[in-house]
Chain A
């Protein structure tokens, strides 16, 4: 049996192996292709876009006008100023669930099967998904900023500090996306991916300093509620947006801990997600 090895004429650059530069270029271009695809999908389901925008707005209104009156903030900070940093982090955390659902759906529908047979970069399915999350979250924080200002949120530390808080939120959300990517790749289908996400999400967002001061919680809960990843990120944003007095520690104290959690998540979760992607058949 003789066979002729044939190289594909239509593919630019070297078809396989290739230089490091070619490979790096493909990682970027494949990531962008799939980022675009994921973002287009968001715009194509206006209902989903509408309701995912409504949800944080409802949370703002609910806590601002319904629960807020019953929550006293030590030091006399208006509740809305206490609340908004919490809303930011809670919203991007909830939004990360869409990564787990989206990946599970792609697996279910055979789209990832097709991707695997293409000469594309292996990791692009994951980087495309998480990059799309970052773009979406940029819009989310802009919307929430607008809503916050409309209900009386008054950031008092200056534009630079506020921007730093936003960047911290985006980084934290990016780290969470990789975690939910792992969940999406482990779930048998998209419904299960969603169900699997909430038992992780609820304790993290609600047993936290996002909506209420932890001093009112039972003492055995306070340690977790103060130092878990969502809480330190909320506290860091609070310090950066309205001043560190209400947070009990310095701005850097919280910021450094939030950065630590985000870095730890990325270091652990990116290899884990890539491994899950490789081994999932």
Chain B
């Protein structure tokens, strides 16, 4: 088996006001021609891992190889093999799309006419031909991400690193970007993708590693993870806390994990959504409980974390630790809502 990317026991501690162990013995390997997803919340070490693998950051310990080449000892060679597109869309605001692509092509030391030709091809491929000669200031968020990705591809990298490529994008732009990434993999490019979205990892990656506090806490195929977790989350809202407590007990047997009661909301992950919904409604009816809301949704990263670690995702490593708890909670709820689009609300409330 040939691995395009290998990380062995990577260690990195950032010293500063607070010491942060960004990487605490991270190991994984990515097969050539596949998409590997690094899944984790903010501050879990995803970006640090990518920075080490792309030669930007020197690890405190461990080794990393890209196509068999040590990223420390052969950094120059590794840089000719990889492409990097980041969550902050590292593009020059003042240049046009074409100029941005050409700049990266020139810095890759491609022949002049190859650079010009690649710019034309990439602008077409990413649907930016019309905007190609406009300054980036006029681009939307989705266009910027596409251009960032296009620039990363100019030298036809064998291994591509995508650090949260769709964070902050609207659903339509996210979908567009997913399609482009799928195309790339069809062409044989190896992709390492970091994401906070289970849905994204599920759609694009053939293998996943879940990161938490700089450690890999789970690794496998998306299917095996979902099987462990339960494929769907059943979410029932009740009129009173007392009803919620009783409902929690009733729903406990429906999925591989016990149900979670928070306030008047009860959540349980199940394998077969519609079947579980039917059984749940029947049991609740039998107990004389009438739910106020009833949803089936896809599991979010939060749910994965809950089942793997027993705690929800925490964002306390990137300066958000001092945030008041209510704000943190509100943000978490927003993030959950963003990640988990209801899949069957319509049918069930009918």
Residue B80 interfacial (CB < 8 Å): yes
The one of B3, B65, B77 in contact with A15, judged by C-beta atoms closer than 8 angstroms, is B77
Please tell me which one of the listed residues A6, A17, A33, A113 contacts residue B103 in the complex, with CB atoms under 8 A apart.
A33
Is B108 interfacial (CB-CB < 8 Å)?
yes
Which stretch, B37-45, B81-89, B220-228, B290-298, touches the partner chain A? B81-89
| Residue in A4, A15, A117 whose CB lies within 8 Å of B68 | A4
Residue of B nearest to A36 (CB): B103
Rounded to whole angstroms, the CA-CA distance of A110 and B151 in the bound complex is 14
Nearest chain B CB to A64's CB is how many angstroms away?
A: 34
| Contact (Cβ within 8 A) A4 B67 | yes
Task: Give per-residue flags for A1-45: 1 if the beta carbon is below 8 A from chain B beta carbons, else 0.
Answer: 111111110111101110000000010011001100100110011
B235 within 8 Å of A by Cβ? no
Q: Is the CB of B108 within 8 A of A29?
A: no
Q: Contact at B84–A120, with CB atoms within 8 Å?
A: no
Nearest to A105 among chain B residues (CB) is: B93
CB distance from B66 to the nearest CB of A (A): 9
In the assembled complex, how far is the CB of residue B243 from the closest CB belonging to chain A, in whole angstroms?
49
Q: Known interface pairs A3-B3, A4-B68, A6-B158. Does A16 touch B76 (Cβ–Cβ under 8 Å)?
A: yes
Least CB distance, A123 to chain B, in whole angstroms: 13
A8 touches B158 (CB 8 A): yes
Mask, A122-139, CB within 8 Å of B = 1, is 001000000000000000
Q: Are B111 and A3 in contact (CB under 8 A)?
A: no
A266 to B3, CA, bound (A): 46
Cβ-defined contact, B56 with A5, below 8 A: no
In the complex, which of the residues A44, A113, A119 contacts B80, with contact meaning CB atoms closer than 8 Å? Answer: A119
Tell yes or no: B79 within 8 A of A by CB: yes
Q: Is the CB of A29 within 8 A of B67?
A: no
Task: Please give the distance in Å from A258's CB to the nearest CB on chain B.
Answer: 34
Rounded to whole Å, the gap between the CB of B119 and the closest CB of chain A is 14
Contact of A12 with B107 in the complex, beta carbons under 8 Å: no
Q: Is the CB of B80 within 8 A of A8?
A: yes
Query: Given A3-B3, A5-B67, A117-B55, is A41 in contact with B104 using a C-beta cutoff of 8 Å?
Result: no
Which B residues lie within 8 Å of A6 (CB)?
67-68, 81, 158
Contacts of B155 in A (CB 8 A): 8, 10-11
Q: Tell me, yes or no, whether A275 is within 8 Å of chain B by CB.
A: no
B6: Cβ under 8 A from any A Cβ = yes
Tell me the smallest distance from the CB of B269 to a CB of chain A, in Å.
35
Interchain CB contact under 8 A, A116 and B56: yes
B193 within 8 A of A: no
- A11 with B1, Cβ < 8 A, contacts A6-B158, A33-B106, A41-B92 known: no
Q: Name the B residues within 8 Å of A33 (CB-CB).
A: 103, 106-107
**Chain B residue with the shortest CB-CB distance to A43:** B94
A281 touches B (CB below 8 Å): yes
Shortest C-beta distance, A210 to chain B (Å), equals: 32
Q: Are B2 and A2 in contact (CB under 8 A)?
A: yes
> Bound state CA distance, A250 and B90, in angstroms?
52
A12–B155 alpha-carbon span in the complex (Å): 11
A154 at the interface (CB under 8 A from B): no
| Distance A159 CA – B191 CA, assembled complex (angstroms) | 61
Residue B279, interface by CB 8 Å:
no
- Minimum CB–CB distance from B137 to chain A (whole Å) comes to 8
Most A CB atoms within 10 A — which of B86, B106, B155? Answer: B106
- What 0/1 readout, one digit per residue, does chain A (94-120) give for beta carbons within 8 Å of chain B? 000000000000000111011111111
**Is the C-beta of B69 less than 8 angstroms from some C-beta in chain A?**
yes
A5-B68, A117-B82 known; A29 and B106 CB under 8 Å? yes
Interfacial chain B residues near A114, Cβ < 8 Å = 84, 86, 90, 104, 151
21 examples of A-B residue contacts, CB within 8 angstroms: A5-B68, A6-B68, A6-B81, A7-B80, A8-B81, A10-B156, A16-B75, A16-B76, A26-B109, A34-B103, A41-B95, A110-B89, A113-B51, A113-B84, A114-B84, A114-B90, A114-B151, A115-B107, A117-B54, A117-B79, A118-B104
